Structure 1
Amino acid sequence: MKDRIARHMIESALADGRLRPGGVVVEASSGNTAMGMAMVAVEHGLRCVMVVRRQTSREKLDCLRAMGVELVLVDGELPPEHPESYNRKARELAASIPGAFFPDQHNNRANNEAHYLTTGPEIWRQMDGRIDFFVCGIGTGGTISGVARYLKEQNPGVRVVAVDVAGSVFTDYFRTGTPGVPRRYLLEGLGDEELIACPEFERIDEMLQVTDSEAFLAARDLARSEGILAGGSSGAALWGVRQVAARLDRPARIVTLFSDSGTRYLSSIYNDDWMRKHGFLPEAEAGAPISSRP
């Protein structure tokens, strides 16, 4: 999914002169946007510098290095106002590197626009316009906001449900108008520790909040029951779909997105030792087939 915003942002910047040929792209990313930026940077002969939380999965970091990305690792537990934190560090680097372009995926609504122009129409076509619910994780907010805008333009009755992660500030803000107090979580790609500009909360009808455990176990269940090896944010989306489906009183068409590959999490959520270490996997369930579980 993130290759869509990478292409849209980088090629727009090249077209209007904000980014010059041979220039530098600097961004803060949990890994998936960084991968998309790296792909487009290689295609256009650009240097790519990514600020990534040190806690990001080893597989993602290895993939980025393999593609020539210059990684700047930061402590993901630093408060957002700290100068060495994730978003602050990327902005500082962009300002210090001559010719650098900072797409700012968290605050630049070109992120949303990319999905309004591509993902939204694609979903509408594939579903022949027959959609009752769109359930989607909320990270930068670009995907859910852009798709929601398009779908609701076609049919205002489409209900948009966001899946946030426990520890993020988004859910409290959506429900009360006041950001919650951020807490540490392990799920990559969803939520944030501060309010950012891309989420268009007014386009969202409901927001659910998933725990790390619920997201990771749903991802593992998806792999074993459907043969789809997806990441933790996809597990969160599946969990959200199940919440919506469980309360339906009539047949409905629910659309969701599985936006990341599980191959990037083989050392974490698909590793029984890692899951047990963090208290997500009871001893009796490690490696047990789905049919043997309660």
Structure 2
Amino acid sequence: MKDLPKVYDNILQTIGNTPMIQLNKIAEDIPGVVLAKTEYFNPGHSVKDRMALKMIEDAEKRGDIKPGGTIIECTSGNTGMGLALAAIVKGYKLICTLSDKQSKEKMDILRAMGAELYVCPTNVAPEHPESYYSVATRLAKEIPNSFYPYQYDNLSNREAHYESTGPEIWEQTDGKITHFVVGVGTGGTISGVAKYLKEKNPDVKIWGVDSYGSVFKKYHETGEFDESEIYSYITEGIGEDILPKNVDFSLIDKFEKVTDRDGALATRELARKEGLLLGWSAGSAFQAIRQLKHELDEDSVVVVLFHDHGSRYVGKIFNDDWMEERGFLNHKNKMAKDLVDKHRHLPLLTANANEPVENAIQLMRKHDVSQLPVVDGGKYVGSLDDSRLLQVILDNPAVSSRPAKEIMDAPFPVVSPTEEIRDVAKRLNKNTGAVLVKFGEDEHHILSRHDLVAALS
């Protein structure tokens, strides 16, 4: 159908040119502007489509793989998906070796795309015969007409990002980018993009995101490969217990480590606050920006690359039971709406700013509540708290006949239904005993200090 200019010949032609999206609510407290290079818009739903295709096409040019051959690769899942697309279009067989920490969704998707999988133990050294590196190496030796790309040391990996991802970021920011932030696994993305950006502007800062249990940060800072740094972690797609040749440490200005828990929670937050359903490493990358925000200013233009789509993590970080089992959630009700749902069918009790205080006191007694928002003309203009009312009336009993507006405190803070209750609780202090949860212009519900204490205990 080459006579139809808007029709692609095959799925591989849709790789690249992914959108840049500004982060808003989640980045309110971060100086400057934070932009997300959102790679799940690639057909295989990850940044790895770019380098997977590049590795195969370069291998074809060298004659490293012949028609009808077999591609063998060790992968955390996303490179496997990119290779699967290439294998389908080009007529190759695909075998993937994975560590057993990878999500079931990733494995199921690879099988759906025709890949044969070998699932290997995570907690073994790279040189162990059962590691996913070693199993891939063995299979490549045993299977005729096979090609083992080995994404860690295959420099076509970083070249793909030098040729495509870097130029796209530069063009999309009109050359105004000041910081590039990305999780580091094989190192191809950060090194390829960094090389391009620093050629354009040597002052662009490159920040790599690492996991606790990985060797990158200490090696970058000291030049020492410290095996005591290596231990098991469960964040997928970033960090390593080896030093891939694709990681060009000279191009990276800083590494920042992020915990499994913080990365997972930030990923969930990105979904709720920005509508971006992303993979685990995306949350880790954004969390790193939070941890380093003191190094930014109002002129900063930060681009964070989000590797993949959250559909591959539905059974893990987007599963409440899985998160609670690992101690990442320590309460059943995680968001403001979960607490409000219990009484959302009831109208919000309020005091009118011009009515006498004694009316508000009677309302509190009747419904056994300790706080009331004060309204005037349909707007929330203040608040009343029973403990403060008691003190005021003890000091001057005549106060009970005066309008509520004369003694009311500041209005309660307003939060969204999807705000985590830990964050909601941070809005309370000795002078603020409740918040209002806003579901719409005309629907608000109250959460008291008591509600939050009960939920968090």
TM-score (norm. length: structure 2): 0.63
Deviation for aligned residue 1:243 = 2.5
Give me the identity figure in percent: 47
The match for 1:72 among 98, 103, 118 is 118
The match for 2:172 among 98, 116, 126 is 126
Q: Is the 8 A contact 1:234 1:259 kept in 2?
A: yes
Distance 2:77 2:322 in 1: 20
Distance 1:146 1:245 in 2: 24
The match for 2:130 among 72, 84, 88 is 84
Within the alignment, does 1:209 sit opposite 2:257 as a pair?
yes
For 2:104, the aligned partner's letter is R
The match for 2:236 among 166, 182, 188 is 188
Q: Is the 8 A contact 1:111 1:142 kept in 2?
A: yes
> What SS is found at the alignment partner of 1:146?
helix
> What SS is found at the alignment partner of 1:143?
helix
> What SS is found at the alignment partner of 1:233?
helix
Distance 1:69 1:63 in 2: 9
Distance 1:209 1:112 in 2: 22
Deviates more, 1:98-107 or 1:84-93: 84-93
Alignment map for 1:115-264 (pairs within 5 Å): 115-180=161-226, 181=228, 182-264=230-312
Poorly superposed stretches of 4+, deviation over 3 Å: 284-288
Between structure 1 and structure 2, the one with the greater Rg is 2
In structure 2, the partner of 1:290 is: 419
Q: Is the 8 A contact 1:132 1:159 kept in 2?
A: yes
Distance 2:224 2:333 in 1: 39
Distance 1:95 1:225 in 2: 48
**Greater RCO between the two (CA within 8 Å, min separation 6)?**
1
> What SS is found at the alignment partner of 2:96?
strand
TM-score (norm. length: structure 1): 0.97
Q: Is the 8 A contact 2:334 2:421 kept in 1?
A: no
The match for 2:61 among 15, 18, 25 is 15
Q: Is the 8 A contact 1:210 1:236 kept in 2?
A: yes
Deviation for aligned residue 1:94 = 0.8
Distance 2:191 2:295 in 1: 24
> What SS is found at the alignment partner of 1:168?
coil
Deviation for aligned residue 1:293 = 3.4
Q: Is the 8 A contact 1:285 1:293 kept in 2?
A: no
Alignment map for 1:51-70 (pairs within 5 Å): 51-70=97-116
Note the aligned Cα RMSD (angstroms).
1.2
Distance 1:262 1:89 in 2: 28
Q: Is the 8 A contact 2:180 2:204 kept in 1?
A: yes
The answer to which structure has the higher strand fraction is 2
For 2:299, the aligned partner's letter is P
The match for 1:107 among 143, 153, 157 is 153
The answer to which structure has the higher helix fraction is 1
> What SS is found at the alignment partner of 1:134?
strand
Distance 1:185 1:135 in 2: 21
Within the alignment, does 1:94 sit opposite 2:223 as a pair?
no
Unaligned 5+ runs, structure 2:
1-46, 339-417, 424-457
For 1:194, the aligned partner's letter is I
For 1:269, the aligned partner's letter is I
Distance 1:153 1:67 in 2: 38
Deviation for aligned residue 1:282 = 1.5
Any idea what the Cα deviations from partners look like across 1:203-228, whole Å, max 9, x if unmatched? 00011001100100000000001110
Q: Is the 8 A contact 1:131 1:158 kept in 2?
A: yes
Distance 2:217 2:420 in 1: 34
Any idea what the Cα deviations from partners look like across 1:96-140, whole Å, max 9, x if unmatched? 110010111011111110100010001111111111000111000
Deviation for aligned residue 1:291 = 5.6
Deviation for aligned residue 1:92 = 1.3
In structure 2, the partner of 1:267 is: 315
Within the alignment, does 1:48 sit opposite 2:88 as a pair?
no
Distance 2:118 2:105 in 1: 16
